[in-house]
Amino acid sequence: MQLLKNKVVFLTGGTEGIGYECAKIYHKAGAKVSLITHKESSLQQCRMQFFNDDIHYILADVSNPADVQSAIEETIGHFGRIDVIHNNAGVSSPSKTVCGTTDEEWDKVFNVNVKGIYHTTKFGIEALKQSRGTILNTGSLVGNIGQELHAAYTATKGAVNTLTKSMALDYAPFGIRVNAVAPAGVWTPMLRRWSNQQPNVAHIENYLDEIHPLGYCPEGDVVADACLFLISEQARFITGCILPVSGGAELGYRKYMGQQVQKNDVVLPVDKKEKS
Provide the annotated active-site residues. Answer: 153
Instruction: Please state, in angstroms and rounded to a whole number, the distance separating the CA atoms of residues 139 and 182.
Output: 5
Residue 198 near residue 95, CB atoms below 8 Å: yes
Select from 38, 33, 120, 115 the least CA-distant residue to 81.
Answer: 33
Measured in degrees and rounded to the nearest 5, phi and psi for residue 210 equal: -70, -25
Round to the nearest angstrom and report the end-to-end CA distance of the chain. Answer: 44
**Per-residue b or e along 66-83, where b marks 16 or more CB atoms closer than 10 Å to that residue's CB:** ebbbebbeebbeebeebb
Can you say how many angstroms the Cα of residue 12 is from the centroid of all Cα atoms in its chain?
A: 9
3-class SS of residue 61: coil
Instruction: Please state, in angstroms and rounded to a whole number, the distance separating the CA atoms of residues 154 and 146.
Output: 6
DSSP category for residue 114:
T
3-class SS of residue 37: strand
171 CB contacts (<8 Å, ≥6 apart)? 125, 128, 135, 178
